[in-house]
Each structure stands twice: as structure tokens, then as C-alpha cells.
Amino acid sequence: MFTVRNPLAGRATVLGPVLAAAGVGLAVTGISVFALQRARILAALPRGASRADIDAALEPVLTSSVTYAAAGIVVLGAIAAAGWYVSRRVYSPLRNLQETAAQVTLADLGARLPDRGKDNFGSLNRTINEMFERLEGSVDVQRQLLDDIRHELKTPLTIVRGHLEIMDATDPVDVQGAREVAMSELDRMSRLIDDIDLLATVEGGGQLSMGVVDLRALTQAVAQRASVISGHTWRVESRARGQVHGDFDRLLQAWLQLADNAAKYTPDESPIEIGSAVDDVRASLWIRDHGPGIPPASRHRVFRRFDRANGQRSVGGSGLGLAIVDAIAKAHGGTCAITETVGGGATFTIEIPIHDQEPAAPAPVRAEDVVTQREVTG
């Protein structure tokens, strides 16, 4: 609940009573003067005075009373006019707000309130316009998300349908091949849906079990799980001694996703280092690989859903892995960054603040960002 104050409202509360008091005062004065003067004049007239003498004596009193009455009517009319004018000025912003809100629909979110300056109604208009802009951006993102998901789900359905159409039902080998393709595509669709659900959950702040996380234990847990990802030599370079406030399982999940990502995009048998560090401000959880690296111009893209810096869709996956990492980092008030490894490669770092901070607002779910990365193995 909030209260909106406007300078015009204050003027209305002062002007209205003043004018009303003036009009009533004139009316009362006119009646009082007429009654007193009439009584005085009638008392002064001799007994048996004619009607003409009485009317002549009362004529000045009647004239003054009419004058007072006319003045009272004029003042009351001024009160009505001033009240009408002030009420229109006071409630005009509310009428504009009502009319603008009535124009806003899902098909048209472009309506905005006029800028009324620096008064309280002007501040209210600007706040509501910002709300409309956020609403419009959110709806656009959701539309794009639905369009992209529709496209991503249509591809496996088309593949399955195509294999079923050309399958020879009398050939067991052909049937088995079509079955394997169908199962593979359905599994991919299931992983995509699970990742979308997970991303929405993390970005919405749900299912986060916040508590004290020991960085040394977290580093050891990541090292143990990453070591089963075949094809690479894993080495722990540093284990931080310290604690952060966070969700152990979500941080473990994000860190393992970085490890899996490094394993997918680097040459077989190349080394990958794991490490953690802590200072007075933040804790850093990093994965360092020695692959082709990521060009600086493309680093902002890899955390978007359904996007890859090198466009390699053949790697597999839903394309949501790094988007989930970024969402988990932001849910902890932190960030995820990419730097170049000395000698070639990329270093992914999750930075989590040591002290309690307000978590950063999650990025809206974009559909152009959701489907191309391999799931965490192990």
C-alpha cells in the first residue's frame, strides 16, 4: 500500500473550506442584516403607518439583503467551479493511469504514461512505465523461448517420424535401427525438458538449500567426480581453506558442468586443472583447460541458452549447461567469467562473494539460448 501526494490536493483542501466559509458567511450575514434592520425599522415607525410607508422604509434593507444573497450565490458558484477544476487536476493522473492500463494487452504492451515532471505523480508514472518495460521484455523473451523450444522439439520429432515412415516393418534389422533412433531422440527431448525445468527452477530461486559450504570439501568432491570423465588427465592445483554461504549441491553441479564442458571441447589426453581460492571478498572456483580457447568476442555468448562460441552442435547436449552454471552463480550473488589460459586454452571461474549479499537478478530465460551442450557425465 502506498500514498500518493500532490501539491494540488493540498491547495484543494485549503481553497475549498475558505470559499465555502465565505459563501456561507455572506448568506448568514445577508439574512441577519435583513432581520435586524427590518425589526429596527418596524419598531421606529409610528403606529398605524401605511403599507406604503413600511415598504419605503424597508426598501434599503431589502436591497442590501439582495446584494448579500447575490454575492453568496456568486461565491458558491466560484466554489463549484474551483472544486471542478481542482478535482480534474488532482485526479487527472489517476484517469491517465486507468486509461493506459486498460490499453495494455499481451498483443500490445507499448502503452506508456506521460512524463509529468518531478512531483509524486510524475515519479509514479516513471515507475509504472519501467514496470511496463520489464513486462514487455519478459513477454518478448517468453515468446522467443516458446518459438525456440518449438523448433528444438520439432527436429527430433521429424527425425523419428521420418525413420518410422521409411522403416520396413518386415525387416527386424530395420525395425531395430528405427527403434534405436527413436529412443535416442526421445532421450534427447527428455534431457532438454529436464534442463529447461532445472534452469527455470534455479533462476526462480527455488530449491536452493543455503548453508555453510566448506570450500576444501567442495573442491575435493568436484575432483573425485571429475576424475571419472575419461580422456583427460585431471589435476587439483589448489584447495581453498574457507567457507561461503551457498547451496553445496548446486555449486557442485555448476563446477562439474564446467569440468564436463572443458572435457568436451579440448583434445583427448590434454590436462585439465581444478582449483579454488579465497580472499577477503570472494571465493573463486575454477577449471583450466588447454584446448583451442574461446575468442574474447565470443565469450559473452557461451552463457546464453542454445548458443556455442564455435557453433559445434555435433558435441551434443541441450545447450543449457553453461546457462545453468551462470544462473547458479547469480543465485549465489556471484558471477561466472572466462579468461585465457597461459599457453592456450580457457579458464572458467565461478566467483562467489564471501559476505552475505543480495543475489543478482537472474537473466530472463531466452529461447535463443537453450539447446546445445552435453550433459554432465560421471
CATH code, domain with 329: 3.30.565.10
Parts of the chain with a pLDDT under 70: 1-51, 53-55, 57-58, 61, 65, 68, 89-90, 116-117, 141, 144-145, 148, 151-152, 203-207, 305-319, 355-378
State how far Cα 294 lies from the chain centre. 31
Using CA atoms, how far apart are residues 94 and 116, in angstroms rounded to an integer?
Answer: 12
User: What's the number of domains the chain is made of?
Assistant: 2
Question: Helix 248-265 to helix 321-331 angle, to the nearest 10 degrees?
Answer: 150
Boundary-marking domain end, from 76, 103, 130? 103
**pTM value > 0.85:** no
**Would you say residue 134 lies in a domain?**
no
**Would you say residue 266 lies in a domain?**
yes
Residues 235 and 365 in one domain: yes
Using CA atoms, how far apart are residues 32 and 353, in angstroms rounded to an integer?
Answer: 80
Boundary-marking domain end, from 39, 70, 103? 103
In this predicted structure, what is the pLDDT of residue 47? 67
Rg of the chain over Cα atoms, rounded to whole angstroms, equals 39
The amino acid occupying position 292 is P
**Would you say residue 180 lies in a domain?**
no
Boundary-marking domain end, from 63, 81, 103? 103
Give, in degrees to the nearest 5, the angle at Cα 365 between 185 and 109. 125
Q: Which residue has the cell 418596524?
A: 42
Task: Write out the residue range of the structural domain in which residue 346 sits.
Answer: 211-369
**Would you say residue 203 lies in a domain?**
no
Residues 88 and 224 in one domain: no
Contacts of 205 (CB under 8 A, 6+ apart): 331, 359, 362
**Would you say residue 113 lies in a domain?**
no
In this predicted structure, what is the pLDDT of residue 372? 33
**Would you say residue 150 lies in a domain?**
no
C-alpha cell at 301: 555468448
**Would you say residue 132 lies in a domain?**
no
- Which phi-psi region, left, alpha or beta, contains residue 363 (left: φ > 0; alpha: ψ -120 to 50)? beta
**Would you say residue 159 lies in a domain?**
no
Residues 74 and 218 in one domain: no
Number of Cβ atoms within 10 Å of the Cβ of 176: 11
